């Protein structure tokens, strides 16, 4: 999505090209409605699992951020010195959380969530949710607990959120840093190259093994024989069956790090069976996660939209040539790029200790981060119904014949009653509005109900509730008269019934989409 541009004349400086910076966008209208619904779904799940929220500054001291992100450190936005402190925009919400824990040593355990913007100077692909300014929704559990119990709950939270967002088919890819480190030790990777080789292996989700091997050998100086040994293992993926296979390999289990990672994974799988997460899981030895702070379980969530299009796919849109070496180029039409993972995380037991001044500050943590903008790009593309421009449930309107006063005070009074009862309502700001204009305003925003006031009816203490969009011949097509004193009760009951019916309809449609994807069945007519 190209940012809107406008040339304007700035006083004394000629023409100014008005636009937002590359990799950013303005949010408005229905996009905001979709994004807010995503936030609401995610926050409800976080609170269901007992989390409290915090907030941290949008920029940190540069020394807080450096050395935590491996090769991705080059994507950190540095700020100019504005008062003696060298600062950078936050790259994620995890390192600021670890810094916060270290500054508050009295807090030894917490379930925390944080929804805020982060910044990365990466090549943008705007329509695929790959941006330079974007929201993350993080959930973390900090504290000393028995192994794999918090980790299991994090993954259960992940499934609750993704199922609640109706994103369709998704997979949680999972691995363990100790398994990877042990594997690299067994294959002969020098200790000082383990993290850079991990970063190369992590690219196997979008690059063939031949290209990854070439990077390891030609760019990172790994012995070709060592690379070939790695290739024997990192392409393996599965579920508990892969765990059983690896446990039988004595060469692998003789390595202390590898064996410890397998033990954690076996216990985690037992817990995930109880939480009904295993059907969504893929134990994938190629998953490495490039960030340096991970120490244990690591995972990321992918959907069908995460990967680049299959080879041979041709975009229907005209593709503008993009220089892959231009860090500012928008690669939205680059078919080699997909949406990418929509959530990722893992265990980071040593990050807080990097900032702490005492042993008390060694607080182990595990968490996950959801990329809202990537989820948004998928949600918008899979919309099952038209998104309303606002969430108003009732439009209060009036009509009358010759000498019509407009009933503006009466409309205001009815709106006040509805607002006091928590009902979302609005009315026309004209004193004497025409009825067709009032209906047009309600239709424009998809308001489901109208409350119509007439002068004669108001004298009798009655109003009319009209459900919008009913077909001809429906018994309630022209509305239903109700006593004004019963209005709040009646309208709340009708709103609740309509929302329940719409929810059932969306659930049926979502199930049908899954059937089409998984089984090739035809959707049910609704």
Over the stretch 373-408, which tens digit does the pLDDT of each residue have? 888 888 876 664 556 767 899 999 999 877 888 999
Q: Is 509 a domain residue?
A: no
Task: Give the residue among 132, 135, 123 at the shortest CA–CA distance from 93.
Answer: 135
Average pLDDT, the chain: 84
Residue 483: strand pairing partners: 462
Quote the pLDDT of residue 447: 93
3-state secondary structure 434-467: CHHHHHHHHHHCCCCEEEEEEHHHHHCCEEEEEE
Once rounded to an integer, what is the mean pLDDT over residues 497-518? 56
Closest CA to 299 of 129, 118, 155: 155
Quick one: pLDDT at residue 339? 54
Short-list 79, 62, 74, CA closest to 123: 74
123 known member of a binding site: no
Per-residue buried b or exposed e for 455-482, using 16+ beta carbons within 10 Å of the residue's own CB: beebeeebbbbbbeeeeeeeeeeebeeb
Does residue 48 sit in helix, strand or coil? helix
Is the alpha carbon torsion for 130, 132, 134, 140 positive or negative? positive
Instruction: Check pLDDT > 80 for residue 255.
Output: yes
Same domain, 377 and 451: no
Please check whether residues 359 and 468 belong to one and the same domain. no
Q: Which range among 73-87, 179-193, 496-510 has the greatest average pLDDT?
A: 179-193
- Asked if 338 and 87 count as a contact pair (C-beta separation under 8 A), the reply is no
**pLDDT grade, residue 187 (50/70/90)?**
very high
Q: Residue 129 is part of which domain span?
A: 19-384
Q: Is the pLDDT of residue 12 over 90?
A: no
For residue 512, tell me if it sits in a domain. no
Average pLDDT of the segment spanning 228-243: 93
Residue at which a domain ends, from 384, 413, 436? 384
- Please tell me the chain's helix, strand, coil percentages from 3-state DSSP, rounded to the nearest 5: 40, 20, 40
Instruction: Establish whether 291 is an annotated binding residue.
Output: no
Q: What DSSP letter does each residue of 62-113 carry, written as one string? A: HHHHTTSSGGGGGG--B---SSS--EEE-S-SHHHHHHHHHH-TT---EEEE
pLDDT of the residue at 374: 85
Contacts of 205 (CB under 8 A, 6+ apart): 173, 286, 287, 302, 307
User: Which residues are registered as beta bridge partners of 106?
Assistant: none
92 annotated to bind ligand: yes
The Cα 244–Cα 227 span in angstroms is: 24
94 is in an annotated binding site: yes
Q: How many residues does the chain have?
A: 526
302 and 411 co-located in one domain: no
Q: Are residues 316 and 452 in the same domain?
A: no
Arithmetic mean of pLDDT, 268-280: 96
In this predicted structure, what is the pLDDT of residue 513? Answer: 39
- Would residue 508 count as lying in a domain? no
Whether 487 and 433 map to the same domain: the answer is yes
Q: Is 443 annotated as a binding residue?
A: no
Q: Which residues pair with 142 in a beta bridge?
A: 110, 365
Residue 52 has a pLDDT of 96
Say if 44 falls within a structural domain. Answer: yes
Give the model's pLDDT for residue 512. Answer: 47
Residue 88, domain member (yes or no): yes
**Residue 514 lies inside a defined structural domain of this protein:** no
Segment 192-214 shows an average pLDDT of 87
pLDDT recorded at residue 317: 47
State the CATH number of the domain containing residue 334: 3.30.930.10
Residues 377, 411: one domain? no
Measured at the CA of 436, the angle between CA 434 and CA 438, to 5 degrees, comes to 70
- What is the tally of structural domains in the chain? 2
Mean pLDDT of 225-241: 92
Per-residue pLDDT at 111 exceeds 50: yes
The span from the CA of 255 to the CA of 259, in Å, is 6
For the ranges 119-128, 129-138, 466-475, the maximum mean pLDDT occurs at 466-475
User: Does the annotation flag 294 for ligand binding?
Assistant: yes
Residue 514 has pLDDT above 80, yes or no: no
Query: 136: annotated binding-site residue?
Result: yes
Does residue 408 sit in the same domain as residue 306?
no
For 277-326, what is each residue's pLDDT tens digit? 999 999 999 998 867 789 999 999 998 766 555 444 444 444 455 555 55
CATH of the domain at 457: 3.40.50.800
For residue 16, the number of C-alpha atoms closer than 13 Å in the C-beta half-sphere is 9
Q: Which residues pair with 368 in a beta bridge?
A: 139, 345
Name the DSSP letter for residue 3.
P
* Predicted confidence (pLDDT) at residue 523 exceeds the cutoff of 60: no
Does residue 348 sit within a domain? yes
62 labeled part of a ligand binding site: no
- Residue 378 shares a structural domain with residue 398: no
Tell me the CA distances in angstroms from 516 to 225, 321, 512, 524, one per residue in order.
45, 35, 6, 10
Are residue 171 and residue 193 in the same domain, yes or no? yes
Q: Are residues 453 and 347 in the same domain?
A: no
Q: Is the pLDDT of residue 507 over 60?
A: no
What pLDDT is attached to residue 510?
A: 44
Mean pLDDT of 31-49: 92
Strand order of the sheet with strand 281-284? 52-53, 110-119, 133-142, 365-371, 343-347, 297-303, 170-176, 281-284, 237-238
Q: How far apart are the first and last CA of the chain?
A: 33
Provide the pLDDT for residue 34. Answer: 87
- Asked whether residue 160 falls in the same domain as residue 305, the answer is yes
Residue 109 inside a domain? The answer is yes
What the block records as the tokens of 447 is: 């308001």
Determine which of 4-13, 138-147, 229-238, 279-288 has the lowest per-residue pLDDT on average: 4-13
Q: Tokens 């090549």, residue?
A: 123
pLDDT for 436 beyond 50: yes
Q: Is residue 347 within 8 Å of residue 151, measured between CB atoms?
A: yes
* Domain edge (last residue) among 320, 354, 384: 384
- Does the pLDDT value for residue 148 go beyond 80? yes
Q: Which of 344, 364, 384 is the last residue of a domain?
A: 384
Is 348 among the annotated ligand-binding positions? no
Number of H helices, E strands in the chain: 17, 18
Q: Are 168 and 305 in contact (CB under 8 A)?
A: no
Pairing of strands 297-303, 170-176: antiparallel
Q: 347 by DSSP, 3-state: which?
A: strand
pLDDT in the model for residue 81: 78
Q: Are residues 284 and 313 in the same domain?
A: yes
């Amino acid at each position: 999505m190209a940012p809107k541009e406008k040339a304007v004349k700035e006083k004394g400086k000629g023409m100014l090209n008005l636009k937002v910076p590359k990799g950013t966008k303005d949010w408005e209208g229905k996009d905001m409605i979709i994004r807010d619904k995503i936030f609401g779904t995610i926050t409800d799940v976080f609170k269901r699992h007992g989390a409290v929220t915090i907030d941290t500054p949008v920029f940190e001291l540069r020394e807080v951020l450096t050395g935590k992100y491996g090769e991705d450190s080059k994507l950190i936005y540095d700020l100019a010195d504005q008062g003696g402190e060298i600062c950078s925009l936050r790259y994620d919400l995890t390192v600021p959380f670890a810094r916060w824990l270290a500054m508050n040593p009295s807090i030894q355990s917490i379930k925390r969530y944080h929804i805020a913007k982060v910044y990365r100077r990466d090549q943008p692909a705007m329509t695929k949710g790959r941006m330079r300014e974007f929201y993350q929704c993080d959930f973390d559990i900090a504290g000393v607990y028995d192994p794999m119990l918090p980790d299991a709950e994090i993954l259960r939270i992940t499934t609750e959120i993704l199922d609640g967002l109706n994103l369709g088919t998704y997979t949680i890819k999972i691995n363990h840093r100790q398994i990877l480190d042990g594997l690299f030790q067994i294959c002969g990777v020098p200790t000082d190259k383990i993290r850079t080789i991990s970063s190369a292996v992590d690219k196997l989700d979008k690059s063939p093994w031949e290209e990854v091997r070439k990077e390891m050998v030609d760019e990172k100086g790994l012995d070709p024989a060592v690379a070939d040994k790695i290739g024997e293992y990192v392409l393996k993926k599965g579920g508990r069956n892969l765990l059983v296979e690896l446990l039988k390999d004595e060469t692998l289990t003789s390595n202390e790090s590898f064996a410890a990672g397998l033990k954690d994974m076996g216990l985690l799988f037992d817990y995930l069976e109880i939480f009904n997460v295993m059907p969504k899981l893929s134990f994938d030895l190629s998953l490495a996660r490039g960030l340096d702070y991970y120490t244990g379980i690591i995972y990321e969530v992918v959907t069908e939209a995460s990967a680049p299009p299959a080879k041979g796919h041709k975009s229907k849109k005209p593709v503008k040539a993009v220089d892959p070496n231009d860090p500012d180029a928008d690669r939205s039409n680059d078919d080699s790029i997909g949406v990418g993972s929509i959530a990722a995380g893992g265990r980071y037991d040593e990050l807080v200790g990097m900032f702490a001044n005492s042993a008390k500050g060694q607080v182990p943590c595990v968490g996950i981060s959801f990329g809202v903008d990537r989820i948004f790009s998928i949600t918008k593309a899979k919309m099952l119904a038209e998104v309303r421009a606002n969430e108003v449930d009732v439009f209060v309107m009036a009509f009358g014949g010759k000498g019509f006063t407009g009933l503006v005070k009466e409309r205001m009074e009815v709106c006040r009653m509805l607002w006091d009862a928590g009902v979302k309502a609005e009315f026309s700001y004209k004193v004497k509005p025409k009825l067709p204009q009032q209906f047009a305003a309600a239709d424009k925003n998809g308001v489901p109900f109208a409350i119509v006031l007439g002068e004669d009816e108001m004298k009798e203490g009655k109003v009319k509730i009209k459900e919008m969009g009913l077909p001809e011949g429906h018994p309630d097509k022209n509305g239903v008269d109700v006593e004004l004193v019963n209005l709040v009760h009646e309208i709340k009951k009708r709103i609740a019934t309509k929302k329940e019916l719409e929810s059932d309809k969306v659930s049926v449609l979502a199930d049908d989409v899954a059937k089409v994807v998984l089984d090739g069945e035809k959707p049910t007519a609704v």
